[in-house]
Each structure stands twice: as structure tokens, then as C-alpha cells.
Amino acid sequence: MTEINIDFEKLAKTPRLLIEAELKPIQGERFQPTGFPDLGAAVYERPDGKRMILVESAQSVANRLEATILDESGIGIANEFTGIPYICVNLEGQIDGGDYSTRTTSLIEAHRINSPFIISNEDFKNGFKNRANYEKGKPLDWKKIAAAFLYYDPNSLIHGAFMANLEDGRVKVQRALTGFIEAEGINEVASGGVKNNPLDPTGKIRAENYDKDVYGNVPYHRMEYTADRIVAYFNFDISLLEGYGLPNEAKELLIALGLYKVRKLLNQGLRLRTACDFVVMDDIRVTNPDGFVIPVEDSLLKIVQEKIQACASKGLFAQPAVTELKAEVKKKDKKSKDEEDETN
């Protein structure tokens, strides 16, 4: 099969790359949408009256896109993407009277570099501020800020970062790649079941050291849905990336990496929950710009690898690519002063 490259020139002339993929349940017709606290499923109506449901939110799809390039540990980057910068933090301290030690990375932390385990490191914070040309009380230099994110963790430019923990919290980069899943023409499917206790349905026989009310037979209800149509949508903000003024190698890496994540997510299957498992009905389609073709996953991987090498050779990335930090941690065992003041 002939490999297709990315038409970067065509993309440079469009503000948004819009992608759709029609989905169907892998078996049967029912699916379980995402739920929200105190709300449940997000059911709503279009202006024409058709009943809709949000199957998967933008936040959840972003997490799933990020996971497509992680290694088996779930915190580092897969070998195929060696060379892409990110930050790894070794956490150490005394927790509950014993030694505590673990690792986390900017690839999985909320808002990535803004993680308190990362930005609280004074050496790193000062290094980031210098590269971003950031000073409290002065205008923001967005090109330098984008270059600093690219240097330490390019994925932050794809998935966004709100640097609320940096000084006055003015540094915010929007999510460039946004995805969500919607279903239209939906109907409820009410069902349920029971959790059986094979020893004692009343739940009176309990373990000596565990006395919570989790024993006995527990009936439950479940609300699933059917739909006329289920679609995964992806919006790639090309104009946002253009506005950062990054070198072509860097901009093309971000585009190729974002498209790879979309392909990988859809190719590897969409088992979003126990009762929510989708497959793509046909190939993904581009609704804007007309005639744009997204390469297959293997071709995108090759492009990403070429762009990683190009960026590294131009000194756009941290060397070594993985910035190793240490953070002392402790267990919060009492209210902070701010919380005490609020309580009082």
C-alpha cells in the first residue's frame, strides 16, 4: 500500500481540521454513556427536538488520547516515541510511619507541567520561567511560552495546560485537539440486577475486621441507551498551533502526533466502560478541509519519529529528553491555615 504523507501546506490554509468517525456497539444495540455526579447521563435535545446524549466528554477523550502513547507502566512514554520530552518526578517521603516512594510524570498529571509535584521544584520553575520569558506583572510572551512547553513537554501544547500553580496563574495554553462522542435519536433501556451473597442474603454474617454495610443481597438498577447514530468528533485547532510561531518541524510534529493519537484511539477499540464498547463502522472522515486525507497509523508513526529527530537536532527539546526531578512528599493530617480560617 502506498504511504500517504500529511499535506501540511493544505492544513496551513485552514483554521480547523474537523474529523468524524461513526461508531456502533460491538455487540447488540445498547451502550452505557458517561455519568456525572448529581446529574447522571447528559441527555438533551437539539433545536429540532431530536433527543441526544453525551456519550463521552471532552475531558475523558483527552485522557484517552494521552494514554495512546504511554508505555506498559502507564506513566512513561512508549519506546516508539523515545525522544519526545516530558518530566518525571521521583516522590519520596514518610507516610504513616513508613518510607514512601513512587514516580509520576507530566504525561499523566492533571494539567501536566502545572502539577504541584513538578512546579514546586524551584530549579525547574526558574528554568521554565526563563525559557518562557515570564515575569510577574509583565506582559506574556506567548511564543516564548509555547517554546518552553515544547522544550519540556510538547504534549502540553496538544492537550492544554492551565498553570494555576505558577506565580499569578496567567499562563494558560488551550487544548489544541478536542474530542467528544455524541449519540442522536436516543431511547432509554431500563434494566437491573442483584449482587448476591451466597452465604447469607441478610448480610448479618460479617468479617470480624470489616463491618461496613456491603453484605447481603443488593438489588440495583441500570439505565442504558440505544441510538440511531453514534459519532466521535475531533477538532484540531491548527490556527492555535500556527499562532505559537514555532519552527515548522515542531508544528508538524504536534500535528502528526495529534493525528496519530486519533488513529490509535479509534484503531485500538473504544471500550469506554463495562457496558460501553464501540467499533468504528467505516474509516474516519475529514469534514474540513475538503479533500484532506489522514494517513494510516503506521505512516503517521513514521512521520512522528522523523519530526522528533528533526526537532531534537535543532535543539528544540530538552537534553536528555526526560527531565528528572525529585519531590519530598508528606501526608496531610490536619487542616491548612486557609481551611481553618474558612471554617472559623
Give the model confidence (pLDDT) of 139-197 as tens digits: 999 999 999 999 999 999 999 999 999 999 999 999 999 999 999 999 999 998 888 98
pLDDT for 175: 95
Per-residue exposure over 299-327, b if at least 16 CB sit within 10 Å of its own CB, e if not = bbbebbbebbebbbeeebbbeebbbebeb
- Residue 326 above 60 pLDDT? yes
Percentage of residues in the chain having pLDDT higher than 90: 79
pLDDT for 58: 95
339: confidence class by pLDDT, cuts 50, 70, 90? low
The tens digit of pLDDT for each residue in 207-223 reads 989 898 888 888 888 89
Q: Where are the domains of the chain?
A: 8-186+229-343, 192-226
pLDDT for 3: 63
1: confidence class by pLDDT, cuts 50, 70, 90? very low
pLDDT for 335: 66
Q: Of 88, 154, 158, nearest to 124 (Cα)?
A: 88
Percentage of residues in the chain having pLDDT higher than 70: 96
pLDDT for 192: 85
286 versus 4: the higher-pLDDT residue is 286
pLDDT for 85: 97
CB contact at 8 A, 261 and 68: yes
204's CB contacts (< 8 A; 6+ apart) are 215, 216
- Residue 232 above 90 pLDDT? yes
The tens digit of pLDDT for each residue in 18-55 reads 999 999 999 999 999 998 888 889 999 999 999 999 99
Average pLDDT for residues 249-259, to the nearest whole number? 98
pLDDT for 235: 98
pLDDT for 287: 97
pLDDT for 342: 63
Q: Of 87, 66, 231, 254, nearest to 176 (Cα)?
A: 254
pLDDT for 336: 60
Task: Compute the Cα dihedral for 112, 113, 116, 121 and give only its sign.
Answer: positive
